[in-house]
Amino acid sequence: MSSSDSVATLAQALVNARSAVVLTGAGISVPSGIPDFRTPETGMWANVDPMEVAHIDTFTYDPERFWSFYGERFASLGDKRPNGAHEVLVELEKRGLIDAVITQNIDRLHHMAGTHDLVEVHGSIETSRCLACGAEYELEWVRDQAAEHGVPRCIACETKPALKPDVVLFGEMLPDEVIQRAFELAAGADLLIAIGSSLVVHPVAGLPTITLKSGGEVALVTNGPTPFDDDAFVKLGGDVEEELTALLAAVDGLG
């Protein structure tokens, strides 16, 4: 099947779907200048061991090391903005063609683009909080504190404990209500479109299986291999912005 035929096939399935849900991974944010995680040399984890720097134990026992990584990451994300792929999903949601976006990303770009029903299974860098008193701090303030002091600390507590980003770290469980919502959306969808995800990080990687077992179909928009390549009825493997822009144009062509 040619690329244009694949786009047309997905557009028709999207228009016909009773309930369509989108699952996104790091690949959708690459055109915004945010590296993915696993690409050799350029990926987010290319030069560090995530099980060390992004683990809850590191945050607990060595916050300086933890924030040496997250401080740089926060700074690098400061000027990043949604790209055309994020914007296409917003438009499809406005038209009622997708019910929700489930994302593995913590970069807040879907939120910035205007996605309304957004399930951030791994949390978001939008806020950080004190685990002692629960005080919440906005990204900009946390980023400035990390740049100036290395470790952003709670100013409401006398002991000034280190703040923790509102993201799920290695060694932590996903919030029950969030992953339950993702499971329910996948089970109720007759079309799940996975975009920019390698679909290897569980439990989110199991969402396509839930859709398939419930009688739905899975489509892939990613330029790398996934465990579901043989199960998907269509796979678009080009640039994610170009593929989704073409998808929206194909939907328009269907009237």
C-alpha closest to that of 37 among 95, 120, 107, 138: 107
The one catalytic residue in 55, 86, 110, 122 is 122
Using only C-alpha atoms, what is the Rg of the chain?
19
Written as six digits, the tokens of 35 are 């590296």
* Phi and psi based region of residue 114 (left: phi greater than 0; alpha: psi -120 to 50; beta: remaining): left
| 84 Cα distance to chain centroid | 15
Q: Measured between alpha carbons, how far is 60 from 75 in angstroms, rounded to an integer?
A: 22
Name the amino acid, one letter, at 114. Answer: G
Q: Is 122 a catalytic residue?
A: yes
Name the amino acid, one letter, at 194. Answer: A
Name the amino acid, one letter, at 206. Answer: G
Q: By the 8 A CB rule, do 148 and 142 touch?
A: no
Q: DSSP per residue over 19-88, as a string?
A: SEEEEE-GGGGGGGT---SSSTTTSTTSSS-HHHHTBHHHHHH-HHHHHHHHHHHHHHHTT----HHHHH
Task: List, in order, residues 6 or more apart from 251 with CB less than 8 Å away.
Answer: 11, 14, 15, 92, 95, 97
Written as six digits, the tokens of 224 are 């790398």
Catalytic residues: 122
